[in-house]
């Protein structure tokens, strides 16, 4: 690692976004309230959010959501296997359907729509209409924070008060 690369990974690019745009807190609270409606297990959201961080290649999101899963008591096998969930034996069919949804939304498909009828039908086998809408909001939730993570480059593993310049 070069000195420049090491220095870049030890500082964020911006000040705390909540200090700059305090209205973010209201939007964030509304998103957390919406996904906390009880229709989908919180662990499923954490798995989806970890996969989203992996797809966009963001260390902060990946570390943050891996740590959230550890705190919730998830095994290292499950956490590690999120990146290869399609052939990993650690996930329920419902979790697989949720992971397929987030992957479909975030991965360009050169051959057509991202969330195919097959992906949707599989998710609908495991989730009712409210839960499906909640899964969509959960994907929107991680996508709301993604630009802040990609542009601002918060410091992985640091407390919120310590991660911004």
Question: Are 67 and 121 in contact, with CB atoms under 8 Å apart?
Answer: no
CATH classification at residue 49: 1.20.1290.10
Does 108 map to a domain?
yes
For residue 11, being part of any structural domain is answered with no
The one-digit pLDDT tens for each residue of the chain (165 residues) are 555 555 455 788 988 899 999 999 999 999 999 999 999 999 999 999 999 999 999 999 999 999 999 999 999 999 999 999 999 999 999 999 999 999 999 999 888 899 999 999 999 999 999 999 999 999 999 999 999 999 999 988 887 677 787
Per-residue tokens: 107: 């991965």
Count up the domains in the chain and report the number: 1
Domain of 158, in residue numbers:
24-162
**Would you say residue 9 lies in a domain?**
no
Helix (H) or strand (E) holding 154: none
Is residue 110 in a domain? yes
130 falls within a domain: yes
């Amino acid at each position: 690692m070069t000195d420049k690369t090491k220095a870049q990974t030890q500082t964020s690019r911006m000040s705390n976004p909540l200090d700059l745009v305090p209205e973010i807190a209201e939007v964030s609270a509304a998103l957390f309230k919406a996904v906390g409606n009880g229709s989908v297990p919180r662990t499923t959201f954490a798995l989806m959010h970890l996969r989203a961080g992996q797809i966009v290649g963001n260390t902060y999101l990946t570390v943050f959501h891996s740590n959230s899963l550890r705190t919730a008591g998830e095994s290292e096998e499950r956490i590690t296997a999120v990146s290869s969930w399609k052939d990993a034996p650690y996930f329920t069919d419902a979790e697989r359907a949720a992971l397929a949804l987030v992957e479909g939304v975030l991965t360009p498909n050169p051959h057509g729509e991202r969330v195919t009828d097959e992906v949707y039908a599989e998710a609908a086998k495991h989730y009712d209409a409210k839960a499906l809408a909640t899964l969509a909001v959960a994907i929107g939730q991680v996508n709301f924070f993604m630009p802040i993570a990609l542009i601002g480059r918060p410091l992985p593993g640091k407390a919120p008060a310590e991660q911004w310049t």
